[in-house]
């Protein structure tokens, strides 16, 4: 069963932006929280597919610059230091970054950049989303945050 937040994230990663925004517009508060957890989990998985702990800093800097080249048309939309901190946090080399507005933006474009570079198939994308869901469940296991989200049909057909 695919929940609303998961379907919304999948729509974003698959390039179905209208469906993604339509789902976002229906989100309740718990859905937003779950979506943020899924986004963080997906970034965690995607970063660890590409980078390793102890990674050369230049590669991370270059990757962040490439993402900003793709998505940051004004030069102010994605904070490079914050984006790098998110990558290092996903590798366990920096403290976690709180999910504020800029961090959500940076997480989203970093995730899109990582997955775009990999050129994933639909099946691989689903595997990442499943792994992200597990990571999100693990990260929220010790908190009281509700794991909710109205079940909806998958938008894959």
Closest distance to another protein from the beta carbon of 57 (Å): 4
Q: Which of 15, 44, 14, 34 is nearest to 151 (CA)?
A: 34
Residues 123-142 binding another protein (CB under 8 A) are none
Decide if residue 27 touches another protein (CB under 8 A): yes
| Among the residue ranges 41-49, 50-58, 132-140, 147-155, the one whose residues contact another protein (CB under 8 A) | 50-58
Q: Among residues 54, 73, 141, 153, which is the contact residue for another protein, using CB under 8 A?
A: 73
| Among the residue ranges 52-60, 122-130, 134-142, 147-155, the one whose residues contact another protein (CB under 8 A) | 52-60
How far apart (Å, rounded) are the C-alpha atoms in residues 42 and 22? Answer: 21
Closest distance to another protein from the beta carbon of 49 (Å): 21
Does residue 3 sit in helix, strand or coil?
Answer: strand
Closest distance to another protein from the beta carbon of 65 (Å): 5
Residue-by-residue DSSP string for 60-99: HHHHHHHHHHHH-SSSSSS-HHHHHHHHHHHTTSSPPPP-
Decide if residue 78 touches another protein (CB under 8 A): yes
How far apart (Å, rounded) are the C-alpha atoms in residues 36 and 136? Answer: 9
Q: Among residues 20, 38, 42, 44, which is the contact residue for another protein, using CB under 8 A?
A: 20
Q: Among residues 2, 12, 43, 87, which is the contact residue for another protein, using CB under 8 A?
A: 12
Q: Are 83 and 110 within 8 A, CB to CB?
A: yes
Residue located via tokens 């695919």: 2
Decide if residue 52 touches another protein (CB under 8 A): no
Backbone angles phi, psi at 3, to 5 degrees: -85, 170
How many CB atoms are located within 10 Å of the residue 17 CB? 10
Decide if residue 94 touches another protein (CB under 8 A): yes
Q: Among residues 2, 97, 114, 129, which is the contact residue for another protein, using CB under 8 A?
A: 97
């Amino acid at each position: 069963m695919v929940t609303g937040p998961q379907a919304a994230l999948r729509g974003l990663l698959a390039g179905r932006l209208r469906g993604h925004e339509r789902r976002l517009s229906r989100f309740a508060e718990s859905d937003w929280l779950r979506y943020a957890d899924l986004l963080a989990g997906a970034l965690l998985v995607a970063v660890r597919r590409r980078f390793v702990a102890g990674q050369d800093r230049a590669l991370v800097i270059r990757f962040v610059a490439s993402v900003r080249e793709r998505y940051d048309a004004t030069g102010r939309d994605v904070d490079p230091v914050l984006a790098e901190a998110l990558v290092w946090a996903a590798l366990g080399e920096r403290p976690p970054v709180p999910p504020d507005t800029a961090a959500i933006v940076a997480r989203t474009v970093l995730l899109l950049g990582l997955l775009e570079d990999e050129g994933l198939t639909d099946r691989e994308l689903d595997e990442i989303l499943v792994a992200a869901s597990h990571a999100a469940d693990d990260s929220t296991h010790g908190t009281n945050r509700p794991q909710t989200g109205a079940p909806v049909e998958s938008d894959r057909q």
